[in-house]
Amino acid sequence: MRKRTFLSCLLSVTLMATTILPAFAGEADVNQSTKTSLNPDTLADFTLPENPKIAVVMDSSLEGESISVHLPEELGLKQGVAKAGGVMTYRGERHATLKLKTLQREEKGVLLTSMQTDVTLKDKMAPDRYSFNYELPSGYKMIKSEVYYDQIINAEAGLKEEEQFQKGWVYILNEDGEIVAIIEPAYAEDANEKKINTHYEVVANTLVQVVDITDNTVYPVTVTTTSSRPENHKIGDYREYCTIDHNVIGAASFVSGTGYSCLTDAAKEKVKKAIAAKLGSKFVPILNLASWTLEGYATLNSLRGYSHTSVILDYELWAYYKHQGGRWVEGRQYKNASLLLTLIK
């Protein structure tokens, strides 16, 4: 049997764009696939910056999806000092200090990386509002939970009642509108451990912490902010392969070019559908992204004389998470896929 493998520059394509499958696993699947020996409140494995002007990075383990957080400039923070237990403390010029800690913890089987800041306002000269500036990937945005659920209620019927009352949170949404990181409700207490009213304002990609100071407030006041995102992880490397019969294309699918025979657009759709029929419909997004590969496949001389095409699809499968219905649920992503087409006589 004679084979003809096309040039890799035309037929072996790395798809750097991430393709997301529409279905999500149930909670039991999440617990099974994210089992870890880490205990809650284990220190996360990344370095805290001594320089307060350097952003803290919350990495998702997926390329291009890191979230960076800049500490508040309003506090006038100075060089940080490392403390026991993996804590970095910054003293401020404006009657305040900031303690930064990063944690790894489990929430119903999902491993989360969290950044916790404790801001201590020493006296009434300290600012009662300050800002965390977030650097987000393209297409991401921040939104208050009340606004988020109001938009869902207006757009979708039948939202569960308990989902309508998750107040005080801030969500970070990806380009598909999925919650991929959360900021827990603000909390503050005074020197007598009396709870102080505090809330967030969201201005574009800036989180503004507002503390409601009154004449009865007893200093110092401690304000805690915690932001978390799940640790997406690679499940493994996979290969799918099949052969397609050129009868699915048909002789009428060819049109003449200048020394070449090309496939019509309809025929290229037939090729994609034939591959999807063999490998499964879940690979259609990858095949759509690889349409230019099929273009190269279709224009390299004539396919006449070859009866079949061998298809090899290599890809990485990743687990990723979104926040839905008050919990993290797991989905699947393809990454770094390559498609190789080989003619067979």
pLDDT at position 289, please? 58
Residue 35 counted as domain residue? no
Among candidate residues 196, 212, 230, the one where a domain is terminated: 230
Among candidate residues 202, 230, 258, the one where a domain is terminated: 230
CA atoms within 13 A on the CB side of 286: 28
Residues 331 and 287 in one domain: yes
Residues 175 and 241 in one domain: no
pLDDT in tens, 95-114: 999 999 988 888 887 888 88
Residues 216 and 241 in one domain: no
- In this structure, what token pair is assigned to residue 284? 């259609």
Residue 7 counted as domain residue? no
Question: What band does 131 get if pLDDT is binned at 50, 70 and 90?
Answer: very high
- The single residue listed with the structure tokens 């990181």 is 181
Among candidate residues 230, 254, 285, the one where a domain is terminated: 230
pLDDT at position 193, please? 92
Residues 213 and 104 in one domain: yes
Residue 18 counted as domain residue? yes
Residues 203 and 240 in one domain: no
Residues 222 and 238 in one domain: no
User: Which stretch of 117-131, 149-163, 205-219 has the lowest confidence by average pLDDT?
Assistant: 149-163
Helix axes 265-279, 291-299, angle to 10 degrees: 120
Domain range holding 17?
A: 13-25+234-344
Q: Which residue has the higher pLDDT, 280 or 51?
A: 51
- In this structure, what token pair is assigned to residue 292? 């230019």
Q: Which residue has the higher pLDDT, 151 or 101?
A: 101
Residues 79 and 226 in one domain: yes
pLDDT at position 201, please? 95
- In this structure, what token pair is assigned to residue 321? 């998470």
- Residue 319 pairs in a beta bridge with 233, 332
Please provide the average confidence, as pLDDT, over all residues in the chain. Answer: 74
Number of domains in the chain: 2
Residue 6 counted as domain residue? no
Residue 5 counted as domain residue? no
- Give the Cβ contact number of residue 238 at 10 Å: 12
Residues 55 and 157 in one domain: yes
Percent of the chain predicted with pLDDT > 90? 28
Residues 151 and 122 in one domain: yes
Residues 262 and 301 in one domain: yes
pLDDT at position 224, please? 95
Rounded to the nearest angstrom, the gap between the alpha carbon of residue 141 and the centroid of all alpha carbons in its chain is 12
- Give the Cβ contact number of residue 101 at 10 Å: 20
Residue 34 counted as domain residue? no
* Cis bond upstream, residue 40 (ω within 30): no
Residue 4 counted as domain residue? no
Q: Which residue has the higher pLDDT, 20 or 257?
A: 257
Residues 131 and 204 in one domain: yes
Question: What band does 204 get if pLDDT is binned at 50, 70 and 90?
Answer: very high
pLDDT at position 207, please? 96
Residue 149 counted as domain residue? yes
Residues 188 and 215 in one domain: yes
Query: 145 burial class (0-12, 13-18, 19+ CB within 10 angstroms)?
Result: buried
pLDDT at position 39, please? 37
